[in-house]
A = this chain, B = another copy of it.
Amino acid sequence: MAVTGQMLIGHSATLGQRGSFQALAAASGEELPPLFGGASEADLARACALAQAAFEPYRQSTLALRAAFLESIASNILALGEALIERCQLETGLPRARLEGERGRTVGQLRLFAAVVREGGFLGVRIDPAQPAREPLPRVDLRLRQIGLGPVAVFGASNFPLAFSVAGGDTASALAAGCPVIVKAHSAHPGTSELVGQAIVAAAQSHGLPEGVFSLLFDSARSIGQGLVADPRIKAVGFTGSRTGGVALMQIAAARAEPIPVYAEMSSINPVLLLPHALESRAESIAAAFVTSLTQGAGQFCTNPGLLLAVEGPALQRFEAAAASALGQVSAQTMLTPGIHHSYCQGVAALAEHAQVQTLARGLAGQGNQACAALFATSAEAFLGSPELREEVFGPASLIVRCANPASLQQVLLGLEGQLTIALHLDDGDHPQARALLPLLEQKAGRLLVNGFGTGVEVAHAMVHGGPFPATSDSRSTSVGSLAIQRFLRPVSYQDLPEALLPLELHERNPLRVPQSINGQQPGG
């Protein structure tokens, strides 16, 4: 397969006619061939019509077929081989090892959802058998299952060109739920997007799935993405990106004649708390691990540790010295796009010039699109009084907030918006303070972690990559891990249906062998 610049509308490759654009080589800034054509309103409408038509047959497909489809996407992505890695490296500037790892994660994610589909627990089957002899009134027979919401719009993320883009977590979980997907490709890696899109279409074709189960659109402006969210045939949205972008999509979705759910993963500064015993005993080693987490992948992670809180004193000074020294040695790294680099430089400059912020260290200088890491410090009072210090700076920059005492640290926490992660570094002696803080931290974040950093998001059953607004638009869900399938489902109840009309998963003899909860008893319980 080759990069051609064409969209994939159902099974057809089509060169968009509404404007054109090229990918930029992240490292050099040079334009890369070919030209990509943007989708028109008619292209959008065609993709939506195909998705709508595909919804019924796709959601009625067997669990085995749906799982096999997901697995074929995974193997087709692997079969793209070097062509995918090389194109992606050019477009994103990310190192080969990282991209190979991300490909493994993407493939693993697709296979995880295949297993989730086969297991069938996501169907949420509940059966309350009829009780004809109940007094004063007989009880009807009630059976419940979860079904797909309908076609889903997915917006590829800039910073995970594979794992949160065309065949990433949102696409995998929506397809697993039985929903067709239309991806709006991220303009920073259109060639990568096209290659992965081809892998999905080939998988759909090889399994005889209806055209329209997947489409990939390029957008030369922003109107097609917005039009996608507004289209009445779209029933849910998955997005990973900026707060501004996510909130704009939320507003479009809320203003529709039929409002729909938007799952936007947006903005988080991922506070790291250094508790006193841990800081006293391990200031230097925590500092080293912190700088590694902060600067890996040029800091371009949603879970990047952008804020560090501790009570001031000699131990924090040791930490700062060690972190500053380590950060000073960090090489500049190529960022994903000129726009991201520009925003990063602006954010860092604003912190550096802030009257109440001290620059502790800068990494090694780079060139072009390269980010120079940065570490700043301020006081709790300044932080509390300056809302601009709470905004995410996307890239390898972090701010240490020196608190006068534990009460001041708690005040800083109280003032924070919702987060994806909060990390605590603690020793046994810190347990009482940690125990007192945990209830507040639970209210602020989707994931709490001890003696680690939020970067490195395990794709697992117990993962939550989510959290209160503005970390996400909907704290009731996760965009990473098997629980993500629930975002694209809704329950339907069947009352007194003859067995001949019931879906197989609701039959008494359970021919699909899916978990069934009977009269509120847990499956198997």
Q: Chain A: residues with CB nearer than 8 A to chain B?
A: 56, 60, 115-116, 119, 121, 126-128, 137, 139-140, 142-144, 147, 149-150, 250-251, 254, 258-259, 261, 417-418, 431, 434-435, 438-439, 442-443, 445-452, 456, 458, 460-464, 466, 468-470, 473-478, 482-483, 489-498, 500-501, 515, 517, 519-520, 522-525
Of the candidates B448, B501, B525, which one forms a contact with A497 in the assembled complex, judged by CB atoms under 8 Å apart?
B448
B492 and A464 form a contact (CB under 8 A): yes
Closest Cβ of chain B to A484, distance in Å, is 10
Interface residue from B449, B475, B492, B522 paired with A448 (Cβ < 8 Å): B492
A127 neighbours in B (Cβ, 8 Å): 462
Contact A522 B121 (CB under 8 A): yes
Tell me the nearest residue of chain B to A439, going by C-beta: B56
Alpha-carbon distance A446/B431, docked complex (angstroms) = 47
The residues of B that contact A139 with a CB separation of less than 8 Å are: 458, 460
CB <8 Å contact, B116 and A473: no
Whether the Cβ atoms of B259 and A517 lie closer than 8 Å is no
Q: Which residues of B contact A449 (CB under 8 A)?
A: 140, 494-497
| Chain B residue nearest in CB terms to A421 | B495
**Pairwise interchain contact A446-B493, C-beta atoms closer than 8 A:** yes
Q: Are B520 and A461 in contact (CB under 8 A)?
A: yes
* 6 closest residue pairs by CB, A with B: A524-B524, A449-B495, A464-B493, A142-B462, A144-B462, A254-B254
Q: Is the CB of A493 within 8 A of B463?
A: yes
User: Quick check: A142 and B463 within 8 Å, CB to CB?
Assistant: yes
Contacts of A515 in B (CB 8 A): 522, 525
B446 touches A491 (CB 8 A): yes
Q: How far is the CB of A502 from chain B (nearest CB, A)?
A: 9
Given contacts A254-B250, A468-B258, contact A491 B478 (CB under 8 A): yes
Contact A475 B56 (CB under 8 A): no
Q: Are B501 and A446 in contact (CB under 8 A)?
A: no
Which of these, B431, B517, B525, contacts A498 with CB under 8 Å?
B431
Q: Given the complex of chains A and B, what is the CA–CA distance between A162 and B371 in angstroms?
A: 62
How distant is the Cα of A418 from the Cα of B260 in the complex, in angstroms? 13
List residues of chain B with CB within 8 A of the CB of A468. Answer: 258, 490
Residues of B within 8 Å of A438, CB to CB, are 501
Question: Are A128 and B522 touching (Cβ within 8 A)?
Answer: no
Shortest distance from the beta carbon of A236 to any chain B beta carbon, whole Å:
9
Most chain B CB within 10 A, of A463, A495, A522, A523, is at A495
Q: Which of A147, A500, A501 has the most CB of B within 10 A?
A: A501
Query: Quick check: A144 and B492 within 8 Å, CB to CB?
Result: no
- Contacting pair A450 B501 (CB below 8 A): yes
Sample (13) of A-B pairs whose CB atoms are under 8 Å apart: A119-B520, A126-B462, A127-B462, A128-B461, A142-B461, A261-B476, A449-B494, A450-B497, A450-B501, A458-B495, A482-B520, A483-B491, A523-B524
Q: Give the complex CA separation of A445 and B251 in angstroms.
A: 25
Across the interface, do B448 and A494 meet the contact criterion of CB distance under 8 Å? Answer: yes
Evaluate contact between A522 and B524: CB separation under 8 angstroms.
Answer: yes
B450 and A496: CB pair below 8 A? yes
A501 to B461, CA, bound (A): 21
Query: Given A431-B500, A461-B517, 16 other A-B contacts at CB below 8 A?
Result: A119-B522, A137-B456, A147-B442, A149-B476, A250-B254, A254-B259, A259-B469, A435-B501, A438-B501, A448-B493, A448-B494, A450-B498, A463-B493, A478-B491, A478-B493, A524-B525
| A258 in contact with B469 (CB, 8 Å) | yes
Cα–Cα, bound, A166→B463 (Å) = 36
Instruction: Please determine whether B461 and A126 come into contact, CB atoms closer than 8 angstroms.
Output: yes
Which of B115, B446, B458, B474 is the one whose CB lies under 8 Å from A142?
B458
